[in-house]
Amino acid sequence: MKKEIGFIFDLDGVIVDTAKYHYLAWRNLANSLGFDFTEEQNEQLKGVSRVKSLEILLNIGKVTLSEEKKQFLLLEKNKEYLEYVNTMTSDEILPGVNQLLTFLETNNIKFALGSASKNAPLILEKVGLYQRFTAIVDGNDVSKAKPNPEVFLIGAKKLNMNPENCIVFEDAIAGIQAANTAKMISIGIGDADVLSEANYVFKNMEAITTDFLKNLIN
Ligand code: B16
Ligand code: MG
């Protein structure tokens, strides 16, 4: 018999790779403050809120700024980031995502977004996926960032599901911890060593097989 379950997807690193655009905008900001910011350092910002990302960046550059200046830089960073987002099309949906969503739709399984990004609704619109999600929880809806489970608990509520019946797809360790704390099944997308706390790990969305999904839902 089929179980009543809901799926919850993180956005950046699972549905699309917006990390590359975040990186360009943060690097420009770092350069304007007189220091460099590498792609390796950018890994520290994945899944992290915008405000916390700036704190980490300023820490890397050993720069101290007034609250007013920080607010200004956050707006500037987002302005540049949105320029990249506005060029996005469905071509940027990561391989395997469309097939997975179609599988869920065919099996009448509802799915939600659970992202730290305040730009998540716009990004889903740009890539043409907005209408397919039953619910969207983004950075505007939460007061506590991952690894706090708030974002996924709100997602479960919006799907009308018990948290134990939800399955989360996440590329960031903080997101895996959030899903685990919410007592959801956690599926890590990325490096198995980094995401070792996840219940299952796949190197990318394309690696998830239909057999695995059938086992999950049956
Ligand atoms: P915004 P996710 C996260 O998205 C990104 O991974 C992270 O790098 C970013 O700082 C955060 O969203 C906030 O994004 O500036 O658009 O509000 O992985 O939670 O989907
Ligand atoms: Mg992510």
Is there a contact between 184 and 163 (Cβ–Cβ < 8 Å)?
Answer: yes
- Assess whether 101 and 76 both reside in one domain: no
Does 199 lie in the same domain as 178? yes
pLDDT of amino acid 50: 96
Active site residue 191: no
Considering the domain architecture, whether residues 142 and 206 belong to the same structural domain is answered as yes
Helices vs. strands in the chain: H and E counts, helices first: 9, 6
- Pair 28, 73 in one domain: yes
Assess whether the C-beta atom of 42 lies below 6 angstroms from ligand 1.
no
CATH number at residue 163: 3.40.50.1000
Regarding whether 102 and 141 lie in a shared domain, the answer is yes
Has residue 1 been placed in a domain? no
Can you tell me the distance from the alpha carbon of 44 to that of 218, in angstroms, rounded to the nearest whole number?
37
SS3 track for 102-145: HHHHHCCCEEEEECCCCCHHHHHHHCCCHHHCCEEECCCCCCCC
Q: Which atom of ligand 1 is nearest to the CA of 19?
A: 8
- Which of the listed residues 85, 100, 118 is the one where a domain comes to its end? 85
138 with 165, same domain: the answer is: yes
Give the residue among 140, 209, 126, 137 at the shortest CA–CA distance from 178: 137
Helix, strand or coil for residue 48?
Answer: coil
Same domain, 69 and 97: no
Q: Which of 12, 17, 91, 138 is catalytic?
A: 12
Q: Tell me, yes or no, whether 165 lies in a domain.
A: yes
Is any atom of ligand 1 closer than 6 Å to the C-beta of 114? no
Report the chain's C-alpha Rg in angstroms.
17
124 CB near ligand 1 (under 6 Å): no
**Nearest Cα to Cα of residue 89 among 136, 56, 137, 124:** 124
Domain final residue, candidates 35, 66, 85: 85
Residues 53 and 152 both lie in one domain: no
Q: 53 C-alpha vs ligand 1 centroid, how far in Å?
A: 9
Centroid of ligand 2 to alpha carbon of 70 (angstroms): 24
Q: Is 10 a catalytic residue?
A: yes
What lies within 8 Å, CB to CB, of 77 at 6+ separation is 25, 26, 29, 50, 54
- Ligand closest to CA 190: 2
Into how many domains does the chain fold? 2
Q: Which of 217, 184, 200, 188 is nearest to 106 (CA)?
A: 217
pLDDT at residue number 1: 45
Q: In this structure, which amino acid lies at residue 11?
A: L
- Regarding whether 144 and 70 lie in a shared domain, the answer is no
Ligand 2 center to residue 172 CA distance, Å? 5
pLDDT digits (tens, 9 = 90+) for 55-89: 999 999 999 999 999 999 999 999 999 999 999 99
Cα 46 versus chain centre, distance: 8
Counting atoms of ligand 1 from 1, which one is nearest the CA of 22? 8
Task: Determine the Cα–Cα distance for residues 124 and 143; give it in Å rounded to an integer.
Answer: 22
- Answer with the one of 48, 67, 85 that is the final residue of a domain: 85
**Are both 52 and 113 inside the same structural domain?**
no
Per the structure, the complete domain to which residue 105 belongs is given by 6-17+90-217
Same domain, 206 and 161: yes
User: Which ligand is located closest to the Cα atom of residue 173?
Assistant: 2
Q: Please, what are the averages of pLDDT over each run of 10 residues along the chain (218 residues)?
A: 84 97 98 97 93 97 98 98 98 98 97 98 98 98 96 98 98 97 98 97 98 94
pTM of the shown model: 0.96
In this prediction, residue 2 carries a pLDDT of 53
Closest CA to 113 of 132, 96, 94: 132
Q: Does one domain contain both 174 and 197? A: yes
